[in-house]
């Protein structure tokens, strides 16, 4: 989901003199570009917080009715944290210890709270901010309520897996649990997957330290498949150190896998024999051991580091056991296994050869002619053919422009 209204977005919109939707739409579009470049599959839907306001107000109403929330004099709606007896169960924090460390909140402008630990569900608008009407005040939602409502609408009262950065465990995920379980009366999430931080040369990545890199920055030097492979090389719960040396190591590792796959494709050009020979059948059983090893690693809390190690073991086995004397059946089977394991990791090891510019231009000309002839089915067919080969067309006033995806 995308939080498309918050303090930072509003601040930037005011600075640029534009509506907040201009800012949110800009960054959402850029995020999706980076996701596509990293071969991250799009979700079935990417809900926006501003499109779920009615659901948020419904859940807030439910929490008030059940005694888990209250309305302050200025229209702010707070969650009554102590009403949820299991508060702190995810972060393993004791609520009394938390209260002791937050007494200052009682005199910091939030004196309408019943308790310093209570958090905002709905807050009054300020000048220049977007707002929505409610029974409490003209305002907008707090940060935590958005996620509870969107997950309920699209995934149900209880979800299987909830992921996020380890810095969100408290208070965000803790507050999500408190909201959802109090409103819905059942467990919110079955499993939690929290990823650790990315460090740069053994120091935490930070703009203030001047060691901040974007996906676009990295793409100027490396294919983003290398970055993806690098991220997979460590367990998601472990801190990951980014450095030039480690990126080069990741590039070399990915090249090893791609080279092995390309070697199998080369052998297939001349390989004979549609069935496994007797000795090959036993040999292939060895190869399948690495698939079992891969599956076990992924079943062990998504241990991609060990999964990658299993792919390397398969590569080493393939380089040793599959050669020009191997049957087509064995070569195809090993290639299929290698490709399947890489696909699960989102790694592309079977790239299609790029079309030549002249071939692209010819197909574009054929499409233009088909459109002139009102043969729109053929025109669409050509566009789809180009798209399948990684060529994106854009119809403009100046003519058709194209780029490689």
One domain, residues 331 and 365 = no
One domain, residues 71 and 136 = yes
Distance CA 148, CA 177 (A): 8
> Which of 339, 327, 342 has the alpha carbon at shortest distance from 284?
327
Q: Is residue 31 part of a domain?
A: no
Q: Is residue 296 part of a domain?
A: yes
Q: Is residue 111 part of a domain?
A: yes
One domain, residues 108 and 135 = yes
One domain, residues 56 and 173 = yes
Element (H, E) at 132: none
pLDDT tens for the 405 residues of the chain, in order: 999 999 999 999 999 999 999 999 999 999 999 999 999 998 999 999 999 999 999 999 999 999 999 999 999 999 999 999 999 999 999 998 886 444 444 444 567 899 999 999 999 999 989 999 999 999 999 989 999 999 999 999 999 999 999 999 999 999 999 999 999 999 999 999 999 988 988 887 877 788 888 999 999 899 999 999 999 999 999 999 999 999 999 999 999 999 999 999 999 988 998 999 889 999 999 999 999 999 999 999 999 999 999 999 999 999 999 999 999 999 999 999 999 999 999 999 887 655 567 778 888 999 999 999 999 889 888 988 888 777 888 887 767 878 765
One domain, residues 174 and 243 = no
Q: Is residue 9 part of a domain?
A: no
Distance CA 386, CA 363 (A): 8
Residue ranges with strand state E in 340-398: 391-396
Asked which of 295, 322, 344 is the last residue of a domain, the reply is 344
Domain membership of residue 385 as a residue range: 357-404
- Taking only the tens place, the pLDDT of each residue in 278-314 is 899 999 999 999 999 999 999 999 999 999 999 999 9
Domain count, the chain: 3
One domain, residues 314 and 363 = no
One domain, residues 368 and 337 = no
**Could you report how far apart the first and last alpha carbons of the chain are, in Å?**
24
Q: Is residue 134 part of a domain?
A: yes
User: Phi, psi (5° rounding) for residue 189?
Assistant: -140, 140
One domain, residues 304 and 238 = yes
Distance CA 89, CA 95 (A): 10
Asked which of 293, 311, 344 is the last residue of a domain, the reply is 344
One domain, residues 76 and 188 = yes
One domain, residues 117 and 56 = yes
> pTM for this one?
0.82
Contact by Cβ (8 Å): 68, 183: yes
CATH number at residue 235: 1.10.730.10
Distance CA 370, CA 401 (A): 17
For residue 193, list its beta bridge partners: 163
Q: Is residue 283 part of a domain?
A: yes
Distance CA 297, CA 295 (A): 5
Q: Is residue 206 part of a domain?
A: no
DSSP class per residue in 75-118? S-EEE-GGGSTTTTTTTT--HHHHHHTTGGGGGTT-TT-SSTT-
One domain, residues 274 and 332 = yes
Q: Is residue 368 part of a domain?
A: yes
Contact by Cβ (8 Å): 14, 59: no
Burial class for 349, CB neighbours closer than 10 Å (0-12, 13-18, 19+): buried
Contact by Cβ (8 Å): 334, 287: yes
CA 194 to chain centre: 13
Q: List all residues 6 or more positions away from 162 whose beta carbon is below 8 Å from its beta carbon.
A: 151, 173, 176, 188, 189, 191, 192, 193
**Which of 376-400 are b and which e, b meaning 16 or more Cβ less than 10 Å from the residue's Cβ?**
eeebeebbeebeebebebeeeeeee
One domain, residues 87 and 171 = yes
CATH number at residue 83: 3.40.50.620
């Amino acid at each position: 989901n995308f939080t498309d209204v918050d303090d930072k977005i509003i601040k930037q919109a005011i600075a640029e003199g534009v509506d907040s939707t201009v800012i949110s739409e800009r960054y959402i579009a850029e995020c999706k570009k980076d996701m596509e470049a990293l071969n991250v599959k799009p979700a079935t839907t990417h809900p926006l917080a501003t499109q779920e306001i009615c659901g948020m107000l419904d859940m807030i109403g439910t929490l008030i009715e059940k005694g888990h929330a209250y309305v302050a004099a200025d229209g702010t709606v707070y969650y009554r944290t102590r009403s949820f007896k299991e508060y702190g169960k995810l972060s393993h924090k004791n609520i009394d210890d938390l209260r002791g460390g937050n007494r200052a909140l009682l005199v910091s402008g939030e004196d309408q709270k019943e308790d310093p630990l209570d958090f905002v569900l709905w807050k009054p608008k300020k000048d220049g901010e977007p707002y929505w009407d409610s029974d409490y005040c003209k305002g907008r939602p707090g940060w935590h309520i958005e996620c509870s409502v969107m997950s309920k609408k699209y995934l149900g009262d209880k979800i299987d897996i909830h992921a996020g950065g380890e810095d969100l465990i408290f208070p965000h995920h803790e507050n999500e649990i408190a909201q959802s379980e109090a409103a819905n009366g059942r467990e919110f999430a079955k499993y939690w997957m929290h990823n650790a931080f990315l460090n740069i040369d053994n120091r935490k990545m930070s703009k203030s330290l001047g060691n901040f890199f974007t996906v676009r920055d990295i793409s100027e030097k490396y294919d983003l498949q290398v970055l993806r492979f690098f991220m997979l090389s460590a367990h998601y719960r472990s801190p990951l150190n980014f450095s030039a040396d480690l990126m080069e190591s990741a590039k070399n590792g990915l090249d090893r896998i791609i080279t092995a796959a390309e070697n199998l494709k080369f052998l297939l050009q001349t390989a004979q024999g549609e069935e496994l020979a007797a000795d090959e059948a036993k040999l292939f059983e060895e190869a399948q051991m690495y698939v079992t090893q891969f599956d076990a690693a992924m079943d062990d809390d998504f241990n991609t580091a060990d999964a990658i190690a299993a792919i390397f073991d398969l590569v080493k086995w393939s380089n040793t056991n599959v050669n020009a004397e191997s049957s087509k059946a064995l070569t195809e089977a090993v290639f299929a296994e290698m490709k399947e394991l890489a696909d699960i990791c989102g790694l592309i090891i079977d790239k299609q050869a790029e079309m030549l510019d002249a071939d692209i231009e010819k197909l574009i000309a054929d499409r233009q002619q088909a459109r002139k002839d009102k043969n729109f089915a053929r025109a669409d067919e050509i566009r789809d053919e180009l798209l399948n080969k990684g060529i994106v067309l854009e119809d403009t006033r100046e003519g058709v422009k194209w780029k490689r995806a």
